[in-house]
Structure 1
Amino acid sequence: MGKKKTLTGAFLAVAMLTVAGCSGQGTASGETAAAPADPADASGSIKVLTHRTDLVQNGTMDKYAAEFNKIYPKVKVKFEALTDYEGEVKIRMNTEDYGDVLMIPGVVAKNDYPKFFAPLGSSTELGGKYRFSDKTEVGGKIYGIATFGTANGFLYNKAVWKKAGITAWPTTPQEFLSGLKSIKSRTDAVPYYTNFKDGWPLTSWSNNIGSVTCDARANDKLAGPASPWKKGGELHTIDSLLYDIVDSGLSEKDPNTTNWEASKGLIAKGEVATMQLGSWAITQMRAAAEQAGTDPDDIGFMPFPAQKDGKYCALLASDYQQAVNAHSDHKTAARAWVDWFSEKSGFPAEEGAVSALKSAPMPSTLTDFVDNDVTFMERSEAETGEVNAIDNAAEIGLNKPDYRQKLVDTARGAQKGSLEDFLADLDKRWNEAAGTVGS
C-alpha cells in the first residue's frame, strides 16, 4: 500500500479464513504471556514481525526500540518487515518459528488463535482497558492488542468542496451525490476517485457497516440468512452510493488507470475532490499537500452521509493486533514490548489513529468529528467468526476488492446488469451460504 503499508480493520475484519495446513509443529501450552512485574524480569532477544516495511526501512522502528530499552534494557528487539506479510507469515506458521511478536494475520481463523498465540489475559481484565479487545477474544481470553484503530469516512479537499458551494457535510446519500455533481459542474476536479486499480481501497466501504444506522452490532447481524443487500439494509445503502457515483459519471473516466500513490498528490492539489478511506490516511494526504506546496488543512474528513436522530455515527474498527507467539521462549519480554508499544510508544498519535487504550483521547486528525459531535462506536466482533464463514462460503469477499470492482464495472457499463440484479445475486449467494455454515 505504498507509504502506509497498513491493512486496516476494515480490510481484515471479514478476511479471516482457516489456514489450510497451518497447524504449527507441536501443541501450544496455553501459557499466558504475563507482563513482567519488574522491568528487570524481562530479558532476551525477541523478533517482531511487521507489515510496516516503511517504518523499518527508515529507522522509525529502531527509534521506538531505543525508547523501549530505556525501560527494558535487558531486552533486545529485532524487526523483520515483510512485504507480502500475509502470505509469508501464513507459510511460517506451519512451523513454530514465526517471530516472538507478530501482527495476527487475517488468514488465521479467530477460533484458532489459541493454537498459535499465547493468551495475554482474561477479557474481564483487559476488556475494560483496551478498545477492540473482543476482536481477539476466544473462550474468555484475549490473544492480541490492536496497534491502533481507525474511523471510516470520506477524505475530501475542503477548498474544492467550498469552491463548488458546499460548506456543510451531506446528511444523506442523495445530498452527497448532489455535492459531487456541483463539484463536476463548478470546478475542474474529478469529484470522486475510486482507486479501482489497486483494489484494496474499495474494501474500505465495508467499514461503513454500522455507520448508516448507528448500530455497533450491525456487522454481527450479518450472521445468518440476513439478506444484507435488501432495500433499507446497510450494505444496500453503501453499495448503492458507490454504484450511483460511478453511474452518474462522477468518478475518474477510466478506473483501470487509477494509482494509489498518485492519488495522494491528486487530492492534495485539488485535482480530485473526494475518496472513501479510513482516518489513518489523513496524515498521508496532508503530508502530500506539504510536498505539493498546498495547504494541509485543506484535507478534511467527513462521515458517511447518513444520520440517525440528527447525528452522524462513525464505527471504530481495529487495525492489526499484536500477539505473542505461543511457542516463544521469551514470552515475558515479548509481552513487555506489546504493552509498551500499545501504551507508551505514542505510535497511534503519530499515525493520526485511534489508540487502543480507552483512556486515550481521540487523535487530532478526528478533531472535526469531535467538534461536530459525531458519535464514535466501537464495532462489535462477537459474531465475526460466523460472518467470516458465511462470506467465505458465499465467495463474495466483503473485505476483498473483487465484488466492488464488478459493481463499478456494472455501473460504468463494462459489465452487463443492473444494480438491483447485482445486489439480489449477492443476497441469494449470502443466504444460501448461511444455510451451509455449521451444517
Structure 2
Amino acid sequence: MKKLLKLLTFSLMIFALLTACSQGNDNNKAENDEKQNSDGPSGEILVLTNRTDIVDTVFKEYAEKFNEKYPDVKVEFEAITDYEGQVKVRMNSTEYGDALLIPNDVPLQDLENYFEPLGTIDELSQKYLHVDEDAYENNVYGIPIVVNAQGLVYNKKVFEEAGITDIPTSPEAFLEAMKKVKDSTKAIPYYTNYAAGWPLTQWEPNRLSISGEEDYVNVQMANMDDPFAKGKPHYILYKMMYDLAKEGLIENDPLTTDWESSKEMLAKGEIATMVLGSWAITQVQDLAENRDDIGYMPFPYNHDGKQFSESSGDYKIGINKNSENKEAAKAWVEWFINESNYAQDNGGISPVIGDELPDTLASFEELGVELIKNAPAKEGQEGLVDAIDNEGEIGLFQPEFKQRIIEAAIGNKKESFDEIMNDLNKDWKEARAKVAK
C-alpha cells in the first residue's frame, strides 16, 4: 500500500511538473507572439507639411493606409502656410516635428546639425532620383517627395481667346503673347503672387532652362563673379519678370495677392499664366470645370529651336535629428515616398526610379522638351553656391530681390533693373571671395 501511495505521489509530481512546463511554454509562446506582433515602429510622430489644402482630407487617408502597415504608430499632421519662414524659426529649437520637409535654403554643410542621415548617395541613388540635392559628404538627409519639371501653368482657353496659336519659345514672344491676352481678354496675363512671396522663388530653377547646360549652376556659376551680368541666365530670367511688371501685364495691385485664390482664378480663366513647378498642375486642374483647359509649357527660351526644362527634386522629406521616435519617422518617410502615390496624384514625376512619367507632362514630349538636371559640384566645391548665396545674402530661393524687381518695375522703388543686377553681382563677388576655396 505504501509503495502504491509513493507511486501515485510521484506520478502526480511528474504530471504537475509537465503541466507547469507546458503552461510555461504556452506563456513564453504567447509572449513571443506578442513581441513579434509588436515588432517594428510604435509611438507618436508629428509630420510637418506645407499642404494646407489637403491636410484634413488626403493626408488623413494617408495616415489610415499607413496604419494598415504600421498599426502601432500614431501620425499627427501640422500644415503651415508660411512653411519656409515658420519652420526655420522652429529649427532654432529641437521642436520642429519628427518628419518634415527640409526648408530650401538650409546650407548643405548644416544639414547634419538638424537632420538624421538616411543613407549614402551611393546607396539611395540606386532607388531614388535627385538624392544628391540634400546631401553632404556622401550622406543623404532628404529624399524628394516629388520630382518636378520647370515651366509655366497656363489656361488654354485664354490663349485660344487671345489668338495665341503657338507656345512662346522666347521671352520676347512670351511678352507679345501676354499683350494679346491683355488686349483681347479680361484675364490677367501674368500673376506674380508677390504678397505670398514664396511663389516668386519658382522662377529660380528656370536658370537651367536658359543655360541648357547641366553644369551651369554648380560648376560654372560657382566659379564666376557676375552671374547676374547682362546676357547670362539670371539676367535673362529676371528681365522677363521685370518687363511683365513694367508693361502692366500683371495684377493691378501685386502687394495684395493671394496664393490660394490665384489657383482658382487660373482655373477659371481669370489668369492666363503663372511660373510654377509641375507640382502645381493638378492643383489647378482640380479647380477647373474642365481639367483639359489647364496646360503646362516650358520656360520661353530655346537653343536653336531646342527647349530645356530643369528636372529637380521638390521639397525633400527628412527626419528631425532630435526626434525621440526616429524609427517611426523613418517608417513614415519610406512609406510616403514608396507607397502613398503622392507624386503621381499631384501630377509630378515620382522620385522612385523606374516609375512612369505623369500624363501632365505629355505636352513636353510633344514639344520635344529635354529634361536636364543640375550636375554635381567639383570635388572640394560641394555646397559652394549655397555658401556664396548665404554669405552674400543674395536669396536665390528667397522672395526679397524678386519683390524688389517688381516694385522697381511698377515704380514703387526708384531704381533700374540693371542697378538691381549690379548690386546682386557686387554681393555675389564679395561673398565668393570670402567662401571660395
TM-score of Structure 1 vs Structure 2, range by shorter chain: 0.7 to 0.9
What is the match of residue 8 of structure 2?
Answer: none
What is the match of residue 343 of structure 1?
Answer: 338
The whole-number CA distance in structure 2 between the counterparts of 1:60 and 1:266 is 23
* C-alpha deviation, 1:305, in angstroms: 0.7
* C-alpha deviation, 1:87, in angstroms: 5.2
Deviations 1:167-215 (A, max 9, x none): 2211111111111122222223222222222222211111211011222
What is the match of residue 99 of structure 2?
Answer: 101
Tell me the C-alpha RMSD between the 2 structures: 2.5
* C-alpha deviation, 1:163, in angstroms: 2.0
* C-alpha deviation, 1:39, in angstroms: 9.7
The whole-number CA distance in structure 1 between the counterparts of 2:180 and 2:89 is 50
Distance change >3 Å, CA 398–CA 350, structure 1 → 2: same
What is the match of residue 54 of structure 1?
Answer: 52
Query: CA contact under 8 A between 1:160 and 1:189: conserved in structure 2?
Result: yes
What does 1:15-54 correspond to in 2, within 5 Å?
A: 41-52=39-50, 54=52
- Matched position secondary structure for 2:189: coil
Matched, 1:325 2:324: no
What is the match of residue 308 of structure 1?
Answer: 303
Distance change >3 Å, CA 200–CA 92, structure 1 → 2: closer
Query: CA contact under 8 A between 1:133 and 1:144: conserved in structure 2?
Result: yes
The whole-number CA distance in structure 1 between the counterparts of 2:341 and 2:86 is 28
The whole-number CA distance in structure 2 between the counterparts of 1:248 and 1:200 is 23
What does 1:70-81 correspond to in 2, within 5 Å?
A: 70-81=68-79
* C-alpha deviation, 1:40, in angstroms: 6.8
* C-alpha deviation, 1:366, in angstroms: 1.7
Distance change >3 Å, CA 422–CA 365, structure 1 → 2: same
Once the two structures are aligned, what percentage of the paired residues are identical? 41
What is the match of residue 243 of structure 1?
Answer: 242
Q: What number of residue pairs does the alignment pair up?
A: 398
> Residue 405 of structure 1 is aligned with which of 384, 403, 406?
403
> Residue 354 of structure 2 is aligned with which of 354, 359, 380?
359
* C-alpha deviation, 1:93, in angstroms: 4.4
Distance change >3 Å, CA 301–CA 239, structure 1 → 2: same
The whole-number CA distance in structure 2 between the counterparts of 1:335 and 1:416 is 51
The whole-number CA distance in structure 1 between the counterparts of 2:173 and 2:86 is 44
Query: CA contact under 8 A between 2:45 and 2:73: conserved in structure 1?
Result: no
Query: CA contact under 8 A between 1:47 and 1:80: conserved in structure 2?
Result: no
* Normalised TM-score (structure 2): 0.83
* C-alpha deviation, 1:237, in angstroms: 0.7
- Matched position secondary structure for 1:314: strand
What is the match of residue 174 of structure 1?
Answer: 172
Q: Which amino acid aligns with 2:237?
A: I
The whole-number CA distance in structure 2 between the counterparts of 1:135 and 1:127 is 11
Deviations 1:111-166 (A, max 9, x none): 12233333222211111221120112222221221111222211111111122221
* C-alpha deviation, 1:288, in angstroms: 2.3
| Higher RCO, 1 vs 2 (CA within 8 Å, ≥6 residues apart) | 1
Distance change >3 Å, CA 236–CA 57, structure 1 → 2: closer
Query: CA contact under 8 A between 1:152 and 1:278: conserved in structure 2?
Result: yes
What is the match of residue 148 of structure 1?
Answer: 146
Unaligned runs of 5+ in 1: 1-37
Query: CA contact under 8 A between 2:52 and 2:80: conserved in structure 1?
Result: no
Distance change >3 Å, CA 389–CA 129, structure 1 → 2: same
> Residue 420 of structure 2 is aligned with which of 419, 422, 436?
422
Larger radius of gyration: 2
Q: Which amino acid aligns with 1:368?
A: S
The whole-number CA distance in structure 1 between the counterparts of 2:393 and 2:72 is 48
Matched, 1:284 2:286: no
The whole-number CA distance in structure 2 between the counterparts of 1:194 and 1:410 is 14
> Residue 119 of structure 2 is aligned with which of 95, 118, 121?
121
- Matched position secondary structure for 1:156: strand
224-233 vs 49-58, which moves further: 49-58
Q: Which amino acid aligns with 1:253?
A: N
Matched, 1:207 2:205: yes
Distance change >3 Å, CA 103–CA 162, structure 1 → 2: same
Q: Which amino acid aligns with 1:194?
A: T
What is the match of residue 27 of structure 1?
Answer: none
* C-alpha deviation, 1:53, in angstroms: 5.5
Question: Which structure shows the bigger proportion of residues in helix conformation?
Answer: 2
Distance change >3 Å, CA 55–CA 276, structure 1 → 2: closer
What is the match of residue 25 of structure 1?
Answer: none
Unaligned runs of 5+ in 2: 1-35
